[in-house]
Amino acid sequence: MSSLSSSSSLPPQTLKIGIVGFGTFGQFLAKTMIKQGHTTRATSRTDYSQLCHQLDVPFFRDVIPFLEADNDVILICTSILSLSEVLNSMPLRRLKRHTLFVDVLSVKEHPRNVLLQVLPENMDVLCTHPMFGPESGKNGWKDLPLVYEKVRVRDETRCSSFLHIFESEGCRMVEMSCEEHDKVAARSQFLSHSIGRILAEMGIESTSMNTKSFETLVKLKESATNDSFDLFSGLFIHNRFAQQELMNLEQSFEKVKQRLLKKMSEQQSLSSV
Ligand code: NAP
């Protein structure tokens, strides 16, 4: 793992970026790209024509003209669960030029494998994971991590120009293999989402006597449930390291419970003598 500047010696290019999947996260990224002067266009399962009109982003209901719209970059912002279906439904042979495909999915080995499988060999592939979202990034992206792997990059200038979008917002650029990302994310992001979901199942709510630690738990619950269940289940289903972490969580819960029960029975036997 390294934390590096991704800049090439050439000045960053203004890019034409086609966004596939214009849900919460696709819209969130598009706003910063537009602010920086890049040209964006979008396609999605849902009809976002009206919203796109307000943002001045051309919206394509039909994927063929979208693919033929002279994109420098195609940015995949669909859910983890729908990635294969979405890519397999796109007539990718209609692409008129060499394009950089970038994904922002919260797991990394899965999109890397799918992109390498479905894309023509002459397309470049950059896998990224912005480790923030509309809530944590609402006041800017400074010091927030952008994890990436240049999986198949021949046009370095175009790739650097794309990464510069995040660098120029002050993101911490972390170059890491997709495998390493998934290992670390299973033990950090997936774990925090799981605990947040468990707290939501328990229905915890803020009280008039919150400790700081309990406030942290309430925030964790809220942040986990702000993301879609599709996102959470994608973190589990498409990260091969997540199942082990779920088992670790279960075993650790059981160990803590057993320690408490043992201590209780020791105390009870003491008080009965
Ligand atoms: P999400 O629930 O993970 O994904 C929603 C997007 O997926 C929408 O664009 C939706 O299209 C599309 N989609 C879902 N099912 C589909 C299907 N069957 N066919 C076609 N499209 C489908 O929520 P999200 O927060 O917007 O996340 C998008 C991606 O960004 C995910 O891969 C996520 O892991 C990644 N990401 C999210 C965050 C975050 O904080 N939210 C942070 C980093 C990375 P329609 O809107 O057209 O229905």
Q: How far is the centre of ligand 1, averaged over its atoms, from the C-alpha of 269 (Å)?
A: 55
Give me the DSSP letters along 208-230: TT--HHHHHHHHHHHHHHHS-HH
Work out the average pLDDT over 112-128: 97
Residue 11 in any domain: the answer is no
Domain end, chosen from 128, 146, 176, is at: 176
Domain count, the chain: 2
Task: Point out the ligand 1 atom lying closest to the alpha carbon of residue 46.
Answer: 47
Q: Kindly indicate the confidence band of residue 93, based on its pLDDT and cuts at 50, 70 and 90.
A: confident
Same domain, 160 and 251: no
Q: Ligand 1 pocket test: pick from 77, 81, 112, 128 the residue with the most ligand atoms within 8 Å of its Cβ.
A: 77
Q: Rounded to whole angstroms, how far apart are CA atoms 263 and 248?
A: 22
Same domain, 195 and 169: no
Residue 32 in any domain: the answer is yes
Same domain, 152 and 243: no
Same domain, 104 and 29: yes
Same domain, 226 and 94: no
**Per-residue pLDDT, 164:** 98
Residue 160 in any domain: the answer is yes
Distance from chain centroid for Cα 90: 22
Same domain, 89 and 214: no
Q: Kindly state the percentage of the chain with pLDDT values over 90.
A: 93
Longest dimension (CA), the chain: 85
Q: For residue 232, what are the domain limits?
A: 188-262
Q: For the whole model, what pTM was predicted?
A: 0.94
Using CB distances shorter than 6 Å, the residues near ligand 1 are 21-26, 44-46, 77-80, 82, 85-86, 104-106, 130, 133, 227-228, 230-231
Q: Kindly indicate the confidence band of residue 96, based on its pLDDT and cuts at 50, 70 and 90.
A: confident
Residue 61 in any domain: the answer is yes
Q: How far is the centre of ligand 1, averaged over its atoms, from the C-alpha of 106 (Å)?
A: 10
Virtual CA dihedral for 51, 55, 61, 67, nearest 10 degrees?
A: -160
Q: How far is the centre of ligand 1, averaged over its atoms, from the C-alpha of 266 (Å)?
A: 51
Q: Rounded to whole angstroms, how far apart are CA atoms 102 and 115?
A: 9
Same domain, 59 and 148: yes
Residue 2 has pLDDT above 70, yes or no: no
Same domain, 108 and 48: yes
Which residue, among 18, 93, 11, 95, has the nearest Cα to 57 in the 3D structure?
18
Nearest CA to ligand 1 atom 25: 25
